[in-house]
């Protein structure tokens, strides 16, 4: 079909030249024709659409006159989708010295022809070859104007990830186009955690019967997500046959690539194919509407209006648009190339030696002299925008951009349901919200949100998203491995009946069979024992059988561990588990010499004693200044304070607490003491009266630090776990049965047994339900669980997990557990013993309260003392004047005076006056009082006067001396004449007149003021005892104590 077109083109060129000769003369003679080639499969769907697009592109380029004196000439070659025929067509084009070739159309032809382009340095600009391997360095002259399959397969993987499918089946043509595209799909799926479980490569020349056999095989497999990557001619046969085999029904998912979606817009004339595609989802390049695209459609209709074989299907084909843009890209590159000084000349190829293989037409092809420069110009030019968008390629020649629209075939035709790009993922619409009916796409069922994908109509006309897999009805039953161990038959056991049929029972089996009832489908299965039954098999080896595909699943008491989870998928745990230490129990020795110390831990004893001393110190500090009970010599103060605080144990303290702050501290402390004494009494009573059962080892920590042998269940992961804890391997003893557990613990480490056994909690609970001489030491550790194991990526693991959750919610799981694992023996005994001592963690709140209260009261008291001391300093400074001193000296002086001020005894005025009045009354009662002053004198002896004077002197010194600043120190000193008796005389008249401020409150026995003295003859008749210069509150006063002399 190539020759008629070439003849027609030649005739047009001759006519054009004739017109130029007539009109232009010399200008026509100077015109230069630049040839470009096109490699198409004329009879293919894409070829029929690309051919008129290329012709229109050449016409538009020439009409635009982007060259000054040159025009493009298009030479076409038919590849017929064959690499051999494509090579022949390419050789014909190269002989005509074309500077570039638009194509090849297919990836198969592109691989072969690209080597020819490399040899002749002629660039190949393909508009539909998507094989990712064409971007390799071995094809330096290959440029791609469409998306590579690397990008397209990433879009398909994004759809699969969005719906959560894990397994995919791939159907493709067994050639470079199909194989390399599916390899790219496998890489993209691996990145999201999915995989291709089966690849069905079809011969490009396969028949309908061959397609039927392949599809029949696929219908018996689990996966229902099928990705089709093939040319439309084979794809049509595939989908028609799939519909006939009932594979286009509910539950199936069919995803096609752009090779198929590019022809799905216009299938009105092929109703069978259109019906077979119902529910198919696909991807294709996203090309938004633009003025350039609309202009192209208008010119296309005008240029090809007379050709009735062409229609909207060819005009709207995306590959035809890419072909149109490829011509424009080459044209702009030629213009820039010529501006750089490049020439479209061809030279003879290099001369090869005679012994290099002889001559051939391929070896004689001329070489584009400036082909390397022209290729670099194509790669570097980034300013062209075509009808498909920006025409930018990277350094490898691949089109830059990764936007795809997701389309769905329905009753009303193809409709857009989503958008994908590598930067946004799956969206309901394109990011610019430009939703237009391009290429006949119908937009319905849209969503208001732009996240995710719009509603898709799947095969069978349903909108519910298919699960993506099923259990095949005609497939083999699931082969499930079951551990065959010697003990623990409550979990998994088997029995053979009279008909030689093996049945399986136990807790794990019942859970599995009950979960089957909650699956949304039915499956067939058969159990197979793993192990010889005389010993416990290795559970790691049993799980590896799933990896090696010997088993489809494992059901039993299999613990979920990190190591096993890396190779298989586990279901949701159907029972919780963890490790526990089993040890023998011994009789606790409650009666011994130091049993009274056991209720509290050592730390509790130390803390309690510390707070006793601390609280006593606080009370002494708060009471020392005002309370005489807490004053005296240091030894007396220490003894009194200790006696007082320890008396609070029995609430028998006799010393009074006068201050408000001290009483607050004492009340809180008495509450703490009450709680501690009550707790101690209760704990000690329990220890001395209740019989104790104590474990010989306290837990995993003490077990690791000891050297006793440790038992574990044969085949369990416990061995590896203990080795990771640096337990010596020679300490580990494998045990098979419950009887072996009991015997080893009974013997003990000194008689060939073990000191403890480490095993999972379900086994331990079953063991202790019948063995009352043993117990759990410490707490359970390393929480885990049991689950069913399935191959990686198996949907069964997910569905069984959902079923197990339903069993747990409705109580069925607990019922099965109680049926198999609960025993009445020893179940009422608390097997796990913690420490019976009361520790600081029980009472730290009480200590915190009393400690904070004590500190707070001390701070309040200290603040009050500082304020009072400052006030006293200011008053004394106002009377005596300020003494100049340095800052350091002032600080030292203030501190010393403050300490002295706090140390002083402070007795209330009321108390002092009461004491004085009491002494005065005693003296008055002991003296004759019903007579005159002359009658008293004979009764006063010199001895009584001496005693009175001594009493007054001592009392005045103790009561009324105040701090005086002497030599920059604060001390209590009287004046030199304080309490000094200067004379006892009979005053003359008028000489005994006392000052107005005389302190009349200090009287000796029988003394009174002049006004009060009974029988006084007048101021001149009273003999007075004079006490001179008594220092009182910082003021020197002279006090007169009227005492009648013996002689009067």
Q: What are phi and psi of 372, to 5 degrees?
A: -65, -40
Q: pLDDT digits over 540-563, tens only? A: 999 999 999 899 999 999 999 999
Cβ-count burial 364-400 (b if 16+ within 10 Å, e if not): ebbbbebbeebbebbbebeeeebbbbebebeebbbbe
How many CB atoms within 10 Å of residue 464? 10
Residues 6+ apart with CB under 8 A from 165: 194, 225, 253, 468, 469
Q: pLDDT digits over 240-277, tens only? A: 999 999 999 998 999 999 989 988 887 777 888 889 99
Of all residues in the chain, what percent carry a pLDDT higher than 70?
75
Q: What is the mean pLDDT of residues 317-336?
A: 93
- For 901-937, the three-class secondary structure string (H helix, E strand, C coil) is HHHCCCCCHHHHHHHHHHHHHHHHHHCCCCCCHHHHH
The widest CA-to-CA distance across the chain, in whole angstroms, is 179
Q: pLDDT digits over 885-908, tens only? A: 666 766 776 677 766 766 666 655
* DSSP string across 985-1028: EEPPTTTTPPPTT--TT---TT---TTTSTT---TTS-EEEEEE
Higher-confidence residue: 983 or 186?
186
Q: Which residues pair with 966 in a beta bridge?
A: 969
Decide: helix, strand or coil at residue 81: coil
Decide: helix, strand or coil at residue 7: helix
Q: Which two tokens stand for residue 897?
A: 């005076």
Whether 57 has a pLDDT exceeding 90, the answer reads yes
Q: From the centroid of its chain, how far is CA 126?
A: 48
Element (H, E) at 149: helix 149-163
- For 309-345, the three-class secondary structure string (H helix, E strand, C coil) is CCCHHHHCCHHHHHHHHHHHHHHHHHHHHHHCCCCCC
Of all residues in the chain, what percent carry a pLDDT higher than 90?
35
Report the length, in residues, of the chain: 1048
Q: pLDDT digits over 695-716, tens only? A: 567 778 888 888 899 999 988 8
* DSSP string across 826-844: TTTS--EE---SB-HHHHH
Long-range contacts of range 897-902, CB-CB < 8 Å, 24 or more positions apart?
897/869, 897/873, 897/963, 897/965, 897/970, 898/865, 898/866, 898/869, 900/963, 900/970, 900/971, 901/865, 901/868, 901/869, 901/872, 901/963, 901/970, 902/624, 902/625, 902/865, 902/869
How far is Cα 103 from Cα 97, in angstroms, rounded to an integer?
16
Q: pLDDT digits over 573-607, tens only? A: 999 888 999 988 765 555 567 777 878 888 888 88
Whether the Cβ atoms of residue 81 and residue 106 lie closer than 8 Å to each other: yes
Whether the Cβ atoms of residue 155 and residue 135 lie closer than 8 Å to each other: no
DSSP letter assigned to residue 356:
G
Q: pLDDT digits over 471-522, tens only? A: 766 567 889 999 998 878 889 998 888 778 888 999 999 999 999 988 877 7
The answer, yes or no, to whether the previous bond of 104 is cis (omega within 30 of 0) is yes
Whether 128 has a pLDDT exceeding 60, the answer reads yes
Per-residue pLDDT at 457: 93
How far is Cα 441 from Cα 435, in angstroms, rounded to an integer?
10
Higher-confidence residue: 665 or 212?
212
Whether 446 has a pLDDT exceeding 50, the answer reads no
Per-residue pLDDT at 359: 65
Per-residue pLDDT at 615: 85
Whether the Cβ atoms of residue 693 and residue 516 lie closer than 8 Å to each other: no
Whether the Cβ atoms of residue 54 and residue 102 lie closer than 8 Å to each other: yes
How many CB atoms within 10 Å of residue 281? 23
How far is Cα 933 from Cα 263, in angstroms, rounded to an integer?
148
* 167 CB-side CA count, 13 A: 18
DSSP letter assigned to residue 486:
S
Element (H, E) at 496: strand 493-496
Cβ-count burial 591-608 (b if 16+ within 10 Å, e if not): eeeeeeebbbbeebeebb
Q: Which two tokens stand for residue 842?
A: 């029980």
Whether the Cβ atoms of residue 185 and residue 365 lie closer than 8 Å to each other: no
How far is Cα 169 from Cα 196, in angstroms, rounded to an integer?
6
Whether the Cβ atoms of residue 53 and residue 300 lie closer than 8 Å to each other: yes
> Interior CA angle at 667 toward 664 and 668, to 5°?
90
How far is Cα 972 from Cα 1034, in angstroms, rounded to an integer?
10
Whether the Cβ atoms of residue 777 and residue 697 lie closer than 8 Å to each other: yes
Whether 91 has a pLDDT exceeding 60, the answer reads yes
How far is Cα 474 from Cα 469, in angstroms, rounded to an integer?
14
Whether 384 has a pLDDT exceeding 70, the answer reads yes
Whether 679 has a pLDDT exceeding 50, the answer reads yes
Per-residue pLDDT at 238: 94
Cβ-count burial 310-340 (b if 16+ within 10 Å, e if not): beebbbbbbbbbbbbbbbbbbbbbbbebbee
Whether the Cβ atoms of residue 463 and residue 209 lie closer than 8 Å to each other: no
Whether 208 has a pLDDT exceeding 80, the answer reads yes
Per-residue pLDDT at 801: 93
Q: pLDDT digits over 682-699, tens only? A: 888 877 765 454 556 777
Element (H, E) at 618: helix 602-623
Q: How do the residues of the chain divide into helix, strand and coil, expressed in percent and rounded to 5?
A: 45, 20, 40
DSSP letter assigned to residue 729:
G
94-98, 606-610, 657-661, range with greatest mean pLDDT: 94-98
Per-residue pLDDT at 966: 39
Whether 5 has a pLDDT exceeding 50, the answer reads no
Decide: helix, strand or coil at residue 943: helix
How far is Cα 658 from Cα 373, in angstroms, rounded to an integer?
109
Q: How confident is the model at residue 988 (pLDDT cuts 50, 70, 90)?
A: very low
Whether the Cβ atoms of residue 999 and residue 1005 lie closer than 8 Å to each other: no
Q: pLDDT digits over 769-783, tens only? A: 888 888 888 888 888
Per-residue pLDDT at 1030: 42
How many CB atoms within 10 Å of residue 2? 14
Helices then strands, each counted (H, E), the chain: 32, 36
Per-residue pLDDT at 271: 85
* Sequence-ordered alpha helix ranges (H) in 254-386: 258-261, 271-276, 291-303, 312-315, 318-339, 371-380
How many CB atoms within 10 Å of residue 252? 22
Per-residue pLDDT at 530: 93
Q: pLDDT digits over 1011-1047, tens only? A: 344 444 344 444 444 444 444 444 443 333 333 344 4
Q: What is the mean pLDDT of residues 191-199?
A: 90
Per-residue pLDDT at 215: 94
Whether 326 has a pLDDT exceeding 80, the answer reads yes
Closest CA to 131 of 95, 98, 107: 107
Q: How confident is the model at residue 8 (pLDDT cuts 50, 70, 90)?
A: very low
Round the average pLDDT of the chain to a whole number and report it: 78
How many CB atoms within 10 Å of residue 33? 12
Q: pLDDT digits over 934-969, tens only? A: 444 444 445 555 555 555 555 444 444 444 443 344
How many CB atoms within 10 Å of residue 269? 9
């Amino acid at each position: 079909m190539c020759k008629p077109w070439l003849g027609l083109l030649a005739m047009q060129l001759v006519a054009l030249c004739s017109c130029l000769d007539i009109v232009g003369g010399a200008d026509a003679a100077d015109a230069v024709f630049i040839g470009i080639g096109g490699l198409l499969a004329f009879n293919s769907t894409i070829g029929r659409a690309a051919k008129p697009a290329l012709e229109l592109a050449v016409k538009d380029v020439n009409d635009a006159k982007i060259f000054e004196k040159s025009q493009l000439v298009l030479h076409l070659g038919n590849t017929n989708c064959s690499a051999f025929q494509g090579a022949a067509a390419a050789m014909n084009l190269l002989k005509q010295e074309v500077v570039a070739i638009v194509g090849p159309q297919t990836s198969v032809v592109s691989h072969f022809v690209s080597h020819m382009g490399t040899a002749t340095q002629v660039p190949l600009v393909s508009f539909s070859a998507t094989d990712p391997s064409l971007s390799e360095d071995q094809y330096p002259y290959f440029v791609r104007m469409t998306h590579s399959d690397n990008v397209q397969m990433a879009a398909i993987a994004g759809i699969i990830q969005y719906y959560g499918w894990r397994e995919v089946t791939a159907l493709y043509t067994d050639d470079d186009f199909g194989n390399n595209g599916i390899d790219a799909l496998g890489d993209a799926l691996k990145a999201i955690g999915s995989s291709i479980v089966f690849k069905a490569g079809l011969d490009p020349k396969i028949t309908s019967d061959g397609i039927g056999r392949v599809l029949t095989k696929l219908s018996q497999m689990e996966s229902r997500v099928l990705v089709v990557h093939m040319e439309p001619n084979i794809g049509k046969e595939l989908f028609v046959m799939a519909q006939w085999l009932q594979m286009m029904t509910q539950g199936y998912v069919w995803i096609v690539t752009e090779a198929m979606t590019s022809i799905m817009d216009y299938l009105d004339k092929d109703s069978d194919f259109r019906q077979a595609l119902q529910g198919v989802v696909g991807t294709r390049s996203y090309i938004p509407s633009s003025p350039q695209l609309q202009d192209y459609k208008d010119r296309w209709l005008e240029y090809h209006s007379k050709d009735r074989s062409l229609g909207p299907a060819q005009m709207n084909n995306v590959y035809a648009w890419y072909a149109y843009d490829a011509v424009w890209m080459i044209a702009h590159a030629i213009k820039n190339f010529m501006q750089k000084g490049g020439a479209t000349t061809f030279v003879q190829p290099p001369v090869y030696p005679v012994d290099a293989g002889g001559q051939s037409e391929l070896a004689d092809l001329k070489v584009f002299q400036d082909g390397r420069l022209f290729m670099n110009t194509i790669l570097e030019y980034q300013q062209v925008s075509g009808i498909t968008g920006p025409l930018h390629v990277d350094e490898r020649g691949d089109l830059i951009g990764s936007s795809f629209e997701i389309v769905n075939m329905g009753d009303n035709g193809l409709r857009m349901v989503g958008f994908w790009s590598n930067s946004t993922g799956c969206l309901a619409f394109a990011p610019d919200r430009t939703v237009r009916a391009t290429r006949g796409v119908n937009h319905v069922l849209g969503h208001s949100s732009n996240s995710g994908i719009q509603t898709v109509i799947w095969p069978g006309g349903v909108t519910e998203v298919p699960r993506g897999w099923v259990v095949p009805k005609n497939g083999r039953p699931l082969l499930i491995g079951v551990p065959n161990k010697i003990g623990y038959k409550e979990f998994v056991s088997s029995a053979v009946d009279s008909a030689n049929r093996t049945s399986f029972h136990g807790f794990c089996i019942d859970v599995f069979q009950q979960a089957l009832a909650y699956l949304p489908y039915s499956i067939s299965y058969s159990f197979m024992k793993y192990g010889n039954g005389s010993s416990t098999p290795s559970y790691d080896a049993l799980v590896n059988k799933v990896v090696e595909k010997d088993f489809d699943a494992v059901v039993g008491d299999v613990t979920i561990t990190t190591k096993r989870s890396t190779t298989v998928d586990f279901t949701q745990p159907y029972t919780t588990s963890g490790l526990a230490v089993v040890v023998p129990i011994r009789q606790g020795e409650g009666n011994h010499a130091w049993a009274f110390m056991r209720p509290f831990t050592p730390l509790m004893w130390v803390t309690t004693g510390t707070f006793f001393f601390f609280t006593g110190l606080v009370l002494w500090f708060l009471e020392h200044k005002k309370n005489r009970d807490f004053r005296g010599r240091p030894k007396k103060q220490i003894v009194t304070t200790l006696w007082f605080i320890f008396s609070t144990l029995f609430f028998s303290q006799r010393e009074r607490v006068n201050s408000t702050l001290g009483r607050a501290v004492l009340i809180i402390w008495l509450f703490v003491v009450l709680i501690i004494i009550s707790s101690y009494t209760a704990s000690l009573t329990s220890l001395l009266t209740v019989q104790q059962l104590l474990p010989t080892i306290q837990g995993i920590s003490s077990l690791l630090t000891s050297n006793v042998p440790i038992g574990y269940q044969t085949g369990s992961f416990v061995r590896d776990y203990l080795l990771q804890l640096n337990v010596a391997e020679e300490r580990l003893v494998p045990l098979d049965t419950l009887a072996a557990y009991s015997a080893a613990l009974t013997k003990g480490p000194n008689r060939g047994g073990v000191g403890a056994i480490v095993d999972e909690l379900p086994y331990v609970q079953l063991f202790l339900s019948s063995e009352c001489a043993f117990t759990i030491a410490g707490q359970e550790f390393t929480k885990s669980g049991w689950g069913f194991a399935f191959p990686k990526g198996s949907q069964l693991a997910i569905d069984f997990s959902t079923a197990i959750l339903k069993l747990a919610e409705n109580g069925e799981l607990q019922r099965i557990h109680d049926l198999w694992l609960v025993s009445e023996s020893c179940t009422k005994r608390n097997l796990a013993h913690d420490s019976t001592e009361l520790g600081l963690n029980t009472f730290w709140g009480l200590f915190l309260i009393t400690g904070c209260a004590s500190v707070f009261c001390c701070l309040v008291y200290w603040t009050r003392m500082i304020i009072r001391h400052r006030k006293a300093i200011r008053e004394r400074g106002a009377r005596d004047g300020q003494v100049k001193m340095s800052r350091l000296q002032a600080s030292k002086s203030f501190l010393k005076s403050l300490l002295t001020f706090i140390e002083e005894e402070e007795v209330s005025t009321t108390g002092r006056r009461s004491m004085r009045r009491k002494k005065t009354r005693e003296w008055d009662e002991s003296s004759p009082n019903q007579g005159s002053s002359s009658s008293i004198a004979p009764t006063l002896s010199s001895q009584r006067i001496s005693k009175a004077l001594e009493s007054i002197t001592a009392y005045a010194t103790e009561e009324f001396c105040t701090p005086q600043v002497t030599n920059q120190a604060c001390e209590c000193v009287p004046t030199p004449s304080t309490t000094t008796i200067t004379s006892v005389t009979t005053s003359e008249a008028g000489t005994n007149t006392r000052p107005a401020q005389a302190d009349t409150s200090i009287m000796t026995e029988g003394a009174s003021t002049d006004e009060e003295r009974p029988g006084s003859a007048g101021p001149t008749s009273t003999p007075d005892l004079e006490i001179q210069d008594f220092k009182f509150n910082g003021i020197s006063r002279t006090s007169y104590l009227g005492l009648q002399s013996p002689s009067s």
